[in-house]
């Protein structure tokens, strides 16, 4: 189990920084992944603060661009879903020579 905390200019930036701190030494290719856009859309506006939100993250490794989505009534959870999926996708498609043993 690894626990990290981080500060950022918002919750997604803080989640991203904490994740990178926690696993960056094990996955060096993570340093080459960059979030390029973050969008939030409320899907059912009539529910007020109980509304479900959709988070769309665009990420690049410098060569490819991909998008991931998170959906939840909790915007932080939706952001985490999109962020973690983005990182997993990027690491799965990274150059294997960049990975540590």
Domain map (residue ranges) of the chain: 11-98
100 pLDDT above the threshold of 50: no
Residue 39 forms beta bridges with which residues?
Answer: 56
At the top level of CATH, the class of 11-98 is alpha beta
The Cα–Cα gap between 14 and 62 comes to 22
Phi, psi of 42 (to 5 degrees): -85, 125
| Cβ pair 98, 44 in contact under 8 A | no
pLDDT single digits (tens) 9-68? 988 899 999 999 999 999 999 999 999 999 999 998 888 878 999 999 999 999 999 999
């Amino acid at each position: 189990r690894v626990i990290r905390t981080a500060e950022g200019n918002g919750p997604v930036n803080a989640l991203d920084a904490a994740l990178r701190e926690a696993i960056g030494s094990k996955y060096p290719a993570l340093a080459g992944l960059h979030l390029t856009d973050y969008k939030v859309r409320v899907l059912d506006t009539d529910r007020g603060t109980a509304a479900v939100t959709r988070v769309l993250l665009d990420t690049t490794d410098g060569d490819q661009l991909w998008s991931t989505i998170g959906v939840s009534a909790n915007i932080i959870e939706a952001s985490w879903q999109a962020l973690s999926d983005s990182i997993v996708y990027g690491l799965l498609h990274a150059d294997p020579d960049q990975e540590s043993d």
